[in-house]
Amino acid sequence: MKAENLLLILTVAAMLAGVYCAFLYAPTESSMGEVQRIFYFHVPSAWVSFLGIFVVFLSSAIFLSTGKRIWDIRASAAAEIGALFCTLVLISGPLWAKPVWGIYWTWDARLTSSFVLWLIYLGYLLLRRLLESPQQRARLSAVFGIMGAIDVPIVYMSNRWWRTQHPSPVLGGGEGSGLEPSMLLTLMVCLAAFTLLFFYLWRLRCRLDLSSDRLEALERHLLTRIQEER
């Protein structure tokens, strides 16, 4: 069995398990009720948005070091998928916030820094669209991607460093933090499912760009042959 097919099977199985756990296995939270179940999709989406920018950072650094095209492709693919999940964070968060806080949005440290991360993703993707030179696009995008990753620790630590409307961390937040065991298991299953989904989509996107490169190389070769025959 090909690695990609195995990854697809694992992803589908994990996603189904995550949906089952989130809606049927995990108990209803006592104070927020059913709306709290958004938590099992909101937090994994945030995790994948962090993972995406980390892959952009790592791939960009390796590209600047080696100059190999494959690392530019990997950075670009991770940015596209990370931007998608960051968008899901900004959608699911307000849907959860409105019934609990009474408002969809407030410009506190966690929400504002998450919005900045989304803008960084969009800026990276826009930069790649605007620059026509492949070499210049790859180099400048790599530098931008590395610098953009600075926002991730700010997002992660914001509700530890500042008092925010956003809840304090439920894991690793100190005394009083933590989850009921079945809720924790559900969160772990959903985190695993979203991580597998990220890597599956990432592999597909990288393969698409590699195929596009080969097609462009073939077109150039055919044009060269035609010109030589003339």
At residue 198, the pLDDT reads: 98
Q: Which residue(s) pair with 29 in the sheet?
A: 33
Distance CA 166, CA 177 (A): 14
At residue 49, the pLDDT reads: 97
CB 190 within 8 A of CB 41: yes
Percent of the chain surpassing pLDDT 70: 96
Q: What is the pLDDT of residues 101-156, one digit of tens each?
A: 889 998 989 999 999 999 999 999 999 999 989 999 999 999 999 999 999 999 99
CB 26 within 8 A of CB 181: no
Residue type for 114, please? S
Q: What is the pLDDT of residues 45-97, one digit of tens each?
A: 999 999 999 999 999 999 999 999 999 999 999 999 999 999 999 999 999 99
Percent of the chain surpassing pLDDT 90: 73
Burial of 45 (0-12, 13-18, 19+ CB in 10 A): buried
Distance CA 115, CA 132 (A): 28
At residue 174, the pLDDT reads: 57
* pLDDT classification of 1: cutoffs 50, 70, 90: low
* pLDDT classification of 175: cutoffs 50, 70, 90: low
